[in-house]
Amino acid sequence: MTSSATQAASQGKAPTKAVVLLSGGLDSTTALAWALAQGWTCTALSVDYGQRQRVELDRAAAVAARLKVPRRQVALDLRAIGGSALTDDALAVPKDRDEGRMAQDVPVTYVPARNTILLALALGLAEVTGSDRLVIGANAIDYSGYPDCRPEFLRAFEALAGLATKAGTEQGVRFRIEAPLLSLTKEGIVKLAVALKAPLELTWSCYDPQQSGAGWRVCGRCDACRLRQKGFAEAGVQDPS
């Protein structure tokens, strides 16, 4: 057991349980490694919502297996809603944008209400598993203008969680949303991942993967690829993937 888990056991307390949203990307993998480092008992949750980059789900499975964490996968059809380059093939994924352009407005890769939907699923699983922590790899610094990656949104959802659940209203459970990467740059995230020995070689970040033979390769030009490249370069770490 980790020191946190050992301390909880010695005091007769049940270990903290957490549901971790795991997409298979750099940020969510680092968030899972962070939660495990706290000594928490974690369940990973991945969502197949019809995303263009569905290869990330295979990576999520590999990450969970490597870290020996049970994983659930839920299927949704957000392509039926559309409105995003990640769920509508008629919309092109932006390429070759600098940081200034990324931060100007909400890009077409924004999936309408995605984090609200994902956190709602995580909240449901938290009730079932007796967890009171929801862990998300949201980042408010090096992000592409997504409104659901801001601290204001996360605090508002945390308040909603207590009002919307049986655990919150009848049992007094106080759900907490943990976003350990919220104020880190991509450089900081890479350094944290390395310190936590997160399996970065298994992660996937590209929004617009290209089929190459029997496998997939990253485009290297979308916002997610460019931010990842920037993070590894500034951290002085070679991307093992």
Structure tokens at 41: 């008992």
105: CATH: 3.40.50.620
Specify the pLDDT at position 8: 52
**Residue 44 to residue 222: CA distance in whole angstroms:** 26
Residue keyed to tokens 């350094």 = 191
3-state secondary structure of 232: helix
Boundaries of domain holding 195: 15-235
Indicate if the pLDDT at residue 143 is higher than 80: no
Structure tokens at 71: 């994983």
**Interior angle at CA 122, CA 7 and CA 178, nearest 5:** 50
- Cite the DSSP H helix spans in the chain: 3-10, 26-37, 55-66, 99-102, 114-129, 151-164, 166-169, 186-195, 223-235
144 located within any domain: yes
> Mind listing the pLDDT tens digit for each residue in 16-69?
999 999 999 999 999 999 999 999 999 999 999 999 999 999 999 999 999 999
* Contact between residue 78 and residue 50 where contact means Cβ atoms under 8 Å apart: yes
Of 150, 55, 154, 144, nearest in space to 108 by CA: 144
90 located within any domain: yes
80 located within any domain: yes
Structure tokens at 57: 């789900």
**Residue 57 to residue 176: CA distance in whole angstroms:** 25
Beta bridge partners, 215, equal 212
1 located within any domain: no
Other residues' Cβ atoms within 10 Å of the Cβ of residue 69: 18
- How sure is the predictor about 1, in pLDDT bands with cuts at 50, 70 and 90? very low
What is the per-residue burial (b if ≥16 Cβ within 10 Å, else e) of 144-164? bebebbbeebbeebbebbeeb
Other residues' Cβ atoms within 10 Å of the Cβ of residue 185: 17
**Residue 181 to residue 192: CA distance in whole angstroms:** 9
203 located within any domain: yes
* Contact between residue 161 and residue 19 where contact means Cβ atoms under 8 Å apart: no
Average pLDDT over residues 154-173: 95
Per the confidence metrics, is the pTM higher than 0.75? yes
5 located within any domain: no
Structure tokens at 124: 């449901």
Indicate if the pLDDT at residue 3 is higher than 70: no
**Interior angle at CA 70, CA 67 and CA 73, nearest 5:** 115
185 located within any domain: yes
Size (the chain), residues: 241
Specify the pLDDT at position 215: 83
- How sure is the predictor about 11, in pLDDT bands with cuts at 50, 70 and 90? low
Specify the pLDDT at position 98: 84
Domains in the chain: how many in total?
Answer: 1
> Mind listing the pLDDT tens digit for each residue in 61-111?
999 999 999 999 999 999 999 999 999 999 999 999 887 787 778 889 999
231 located within any domain: yes
> Mind listing the pLDDT tens digit for each residue in 194-218?
999 999 999 999 999 988 777 889 9
